[in-house]
Amino acid sequence: MTETVPFEKIGSGRYRIPRHGKMRVDALFYASKEILAGLETEEFASLRQLINVACLPGIVEPALAMPDIHWGYGFPIGGVAAFDAASEGVVSPGGVGYDINCGVRLLASGLDRSDLGAHKKALADALYRLIPAGVGSKRRGEHLAPKELRRLLEQGAAWMVGKGFGDEADLRYLESGGVFANANPDTVSPRALERGAAQLGTLGSGNHFLEVQLVDRIFDRKAAEALGLHLDQITVLIHTGSRGLGHQVCSDYVGTFLKAAPRYGIDLPDRQLAAAPIESSEGEAYLGAMAASANFAFANRQRITASVRAAFEEIGFSPRDHGLRVVYDLAHNNAKFETHRGKKLLVHRKGATRAFGPGHAELPQDYLNVGQPVFVPGDMGRYSFVLVGTDTAMRETFGSSCHGAGRKMSRHRAKREARKRNLIEELGEQGILIRAASRATVDEEMPEAYKDVADVVDVVDTAGIGKKVARLRPLIVVKG
């Protein structure tokens, strides 16, 4: 019989798991009645993972999970944990994930729904042709030489801009300017470099996607105006990460940390939480490799942005016509040194994003009065949301919020349930064009496989750790 997870409601959408057993701190998670029911269905597996995270050395109270919480590798997806190096704090690859700096970038256009009109099918075809997608997808004829790849891993999105893929204006609207300064390519294995050399500018597979969307609701007019969003506007959301390079880095360092943990006297509640002290040689090496992977992901989304612009131009919209500009680019999976509560902490976000409030020094000047943009993708049949960060998030969640809808159905089950349906045809009847490398990808990403992202976002909004700004509905979906 599965042991009960003790938790109590402590406020609107907030639940606390009191410190018990080997937990070093309390845990806090955000949920609605529907989300709680889903957690119960999985026998609270993801909450048990959160409890395990609360057992790690040097963790700062509380261990956190956002309302898109579901079971993951080591940390639950939606997990946030801050560690203090001065108190024997650790770094854990499982707290970042295999897809390092998986993230989302929103582009806003100067086009409205009527402008797209008869061009919709041609645009879907052009995007699918110009942006490689699928398992192991590569760009034919584009293989980065070792010296080029090294510079990219050090410079991130700026390297792509220097090669003519975008301009300096793009960089002003990327989290951390599109570069992690502490990147160290020397700590990235030859196998990881090999896997990444031909994958720049590719989507990959699974839940990665590119969507052309329509702004169909505005919740906060002032914030929407600051972000340059309005009703009936055409936008593009890009969701992908560091591809095979980041995956290999995580694999490499999980193995290294499993060997290192006993040497440092770290008692692991779960082998998937393999960890090493932040200031150890292993910890510093991983952080350098992780930052290099994050820079690859920033560069990857920058290259895709250039391809999106090229697709619009190919079907007849000049740069002046489409006006595609970066609203923001933010990461889901990384560990960053940040100052919270007067201390320098290493904040792990696994399937969670920054949600810095108004006035924060890292925000673009245009957004200082409204807070950091937060993009929360839903499923390909419903909608995604734009939020902004809040002061409450800064106080409660180390400036963090949710990153998506969160799965409620395994990929295997989704494919089994979709077998007798034609999802591409069903979505087409809703006005959503699908371009995908395989039917299997579409089936495993069926809309019903995910929680309703509106429920997730409402929890965030009600709790005050993010504020709703706009809703985006899909018109074109490109998947691997």
Structure tokens at 48: 């048990």
Domain count, the chain: 1
Query: Residues 404-442: pLDDT tens digits?
Result: 998 888 888 999 988 889 999 999 999 999 999 788 888
Is residue 150 scored above 70 in pLDDT? yes
Is residue 4 scored above 90 in pLDDT? no
Q: Which of these, 61, 51, 77, lies nearest to 352 by C-alpha position?
A: 77
Which of these is catalytic: 208, 247, 332, 403? 403
Q: Positive or negative, the Cα torsion across 393, 398, 404, 406?
A: negative
Residue 131, φ and ψ in degrees, nearest 5: -120, 100
With respect to residue 115, please indicate whether it lies within any of the assigned structural domains. yes
With respect to residue 3, please indicate whether it lies within any of the assigned structural domains. no
With respect to residue 355, please indicate whether it lies within any of the assigned structural domains. yes
Please give the pLDDT value at position 263: 96
Query: Residues 228-269: pLDDT tens digits?
Result: 999 999 999 999 999 999 999 999 999 999 999 999 999 999
Residue with tokens 């914030």: 223
Provide the residue range defining the domain that includes 195. 8-479
CA–CA separation, 326 vs 308, rounded Å? 12
Please give the pLDDT value at position 354: 97
Query: In CATH, what number is assigned to the domain containing residue 219?
Result: 3.90.1860.10
Please give the pLDDT value at position 301: 98
Residue 348 designated active-site: no
With respect to residue 81, please indicate whether it lies within any of the assigned structural domains. yes
With respect to residue 358, please indicate whether it lies within any of the assigned structural domains. yes
DSSP symbol at 407: B
Buried b or exposed e, range 408-439, using 16+ CB within 10 angstroms: bbebeebbeebeeeebbeebeeeebbbbbbee
Mean per-residue pLDDT over the chain, rounded: 95
Is residue 480 scored above 80 in pLDDT? no
Query: Residues 191-206: pLDDT tens digits?
Result: 999 999 999 999 988 8
Residue 4 one-letter amino acid: T
Residue with tokens 């309390």: 26
Query: Residues 331-388: pLDDT tens digits?
Result: 999 999 999 999 999 999 999 999 999 999 999 999 999 999 999 999 999 999 999 9
Please give the pLDDT value at position 469: 98
Query: Residues 65-84: pLDDT tens digits?
Result: 999 999 999 999 999 999 99
Contact 437, 138 (CB under 8 A): no
With respect to residue 48, please indicate whether it lies within any of the assigned structural domains. yes
With respect to residue 265, please indicate whether it lies within any of the assigned structural domains. yes
Contact 205, 134 (CB under 8 A): yes
Structure tokens at 363: 């925000």
Contact 142, 200 (CB under 8 A): yes
With respect to residue 1, please indicate whether it lies within any of the assigned structural domains. no
